[in-house]
Structure 1
Amino acid sequence: MKVAKFGGSSVASAGQFRKVAHIVLSDEQRRIIVVSAPGKRFKEDIKMTDLLIQLANKVTNGDSCDDVFTAVMERYEEIAEGLELSSEIIEKIKADLKKIIDNYKNEPERLMDALKASGEDNNAKLMAFYFNHLGHEAHYVNPKEAGIFVTDEPGNAQILPESYEKLKDLKKRTGILVIPGFFGYSKTGHIVTFPRGGSDITGSIVAAGVGAEVYENFTDVDSIYCVNPSIVDNPRKLKELTYREMRELSYSGFSVFHDEALEPVYRAGIPVCVKNTNNPEAPGTWIVAERDHKEQPIAGIASDTGFCSINISKYLMNREIGFGRKVLQILEDEGISYEHTPSGIDNMSIILRAAQLEGEKEQRIIDRIQTELNVDDIHVERNLALIMVVGEGMEQTVGVAAKATMAFAKANVNIEMINQGSSEVSMMFGVKEEAVNRAVKALYEVYF
């Protein structure tokens, strides 16, 4: 059995629905499919999820929402008409949307989660209806029915362990099963969504639950590239990479895979194949437990912007027991997560997403660290980008770091910071945002 997940661009129009049906029906092992909400049909288009967020905001604010409601329905109607489906399914979708608004109009967080989830939910109903229309046995399976139970954290659901036992029952069912991605149900019966991009998470959970042979993730690229193709022209395609490498790359800015999505299949040891809905014959990229690193120790280079660094100096910092814990406690008190903490004997840097230091938070944190820890100097450095060089082969390869520093020097890029974890899966470099693309190109040249 294979579990196949189809992303937003794969289910954005009637033409894409036909491609999905062809792919599913061409392999009888593809018995369970997970679908996203309709994505962009063209570059300037708006994703269904963004329309639904607009709809939720208008309802919450008490504004007229007729125009956005109509826009949402028109997207589904266009798909249904293009597939020559009866109006019965569209009437059902319209009724479901109105019911969500009526049920949750006075609960903004619940309304937002339920409306966002409806994008996937209604697309799954449409997909199952289409397979039936083609004469094949297919069933829409609601996540509650499937057994996807999650924590009650709107917009940030985590799967509950007992879900995996319930998901096993899906193997007993007949026909093609169509499951909406992106959400599950809390124990109190509420719809709760995973973080954005969470259809990948659903696909991974379902694959692990049913013990699939392969988890196929269909998107709009032939394979995963070793670097962002918008930075480097025609970069090398990756035949395979490991779960740990993919996790590091997706966290660091690779948008192909949500960075939490691999955990269930990693635990279950299920290989993942990333394929192209528009070119299903292409071999794609395999994500596996182990790969041969000899030919290519580096798997990829990822970069992301929007970081800042809180730099702290204090003479004899290393002798002060509990110093680091106290700094991190101040961040925790302010509800701030950090990414890295490179340090020396008398200094410490905390790298975090700059958007977290909103309003008065920044000054409050600086004041607390200054007064509570009596530091010699503290300042915030903004406009930082992080670049990750990722590859499990680094550990056995001499000169990987030397190549990186040589590339930066050649490209005239100043390194603000370097950090390498003990696992030696990745090296992190901090540079100024305006230099990030130049740095990535230079790294690509030396490694690939």
Structure 2
Amino acid sequence: MNKKVLGISIGAVALLAIIIGGIVLQKQASERKQIEAAQSELSTIEKEAKKKGELYTSVAALYDEEFDFLAKDTTIKMIEKAEASLSKKQTEINKLEKEYGSKVKAAAAEKAVEKLQEQVTLAKDKREIQTEVNALFSSKESAIEGDKVKKELAITADLTEEDISAITETFEDYEELDGKWKEAIDAIIKNAEDQVAQVKKINKLLDEAFDGNLPKETLKQSDYDTLNKEVAKVKNEELKTTYTAKLLLMKAMIDTQAQLDTLTKQQKEAQEAAAKAVEDAGNAAQQAVEDATNAASQQAAEATDILAGYSDDQIEFARVWLAKIGTKPSELNVTRIAAGTPINPYNASSATYPTEVIMLGGAYSAEGSVVYASNHNGTVTIYSVPGHWPAAAASDPEVSMEMTQGILANGQVMSVPTGNPNDVRDLILLQR
């Protein structure tokens, strides 16, 4: 090969090397630019996920404060929207990591996004638990809403221990749930547990007191008192009304048995007294009569002493209630209704009371009510005034007049028994 050809070959090689070098440098520069852009994107994601960033703000909005209580207006839709945004950013980070590997630093952005994802997952768990906890109670109010917590709401009437256990078991699976929110949920569930336990206790007492739907004849006053005390603690009004009806049946049975026992005892005493009178005759019989008379006088004197200081009206109110209702109410409300007042307050076309009448009622309708007029001679006239008037009586004047005239026509005159002076005094103290 001559020198000229050799020179041309070397020049061509050199030129080719220059061209290839330029291409390599250009490719490296382009790659650096792409890596810088990728790193910039990761930095932007990290910034958005940090405090005051767009992602951070959207997650923080789910909470009331300090990522503890959920915000009052937090919905599942808001949680899912935040979850979707974070998932999208996580996908972007994964794509950049896969494309550039160790050439980019994605750890900080990934950690920031993961931290927010944990808060969103926590919000979803809290929202689910709050929904289940609120469903334990019959009130239209929520037991927990935002940072507002109501620890004394009444449970639903059909709530069971199993219902509560299902929630507590779910709750225990989330170890990350803590703080004041957890304390609030614990307190709410404790309230539900206590009420369910109270209902269970009452149902057990009722099972012991009843044979089917009827109270046992062996009931004692102490059985009634114990159950009455427990029923007073019930917060659900539907359950309390049901239990109160059972209490009224128990009281009626106890009073009936007491009356039967008294009659049996009196009959036995009378038979014994008669036998003794026949056997002893003469003076012995006379002495027995005198003793009985003295005992009756003493009892009458004691009754007078017990009721001393109370007005005739107060005594009459109590005796009428005992005679017609028998059971002791939580309070005895007394209302005087003037003569000429319409019997049906919901329709002007109503017969009116010819004289002043007295309306007696317990604290609530289940305890009963009595409407009567005093005849001031030891008797009263009882009027069967309904506690709830039918719709027709309110809208139809003829129906109203017919019903109310019937009430007047069917008034029953009743002698007011003296009754047990202690019971009479107890009811006087309950008069309002």
TM-score (norm 1): 0.23
TM-score (norm 2): 0.24
Higher-Rg structure is 2
Greater RCO (Cα-Cα under 8 Å, separation 6 or more)? 1
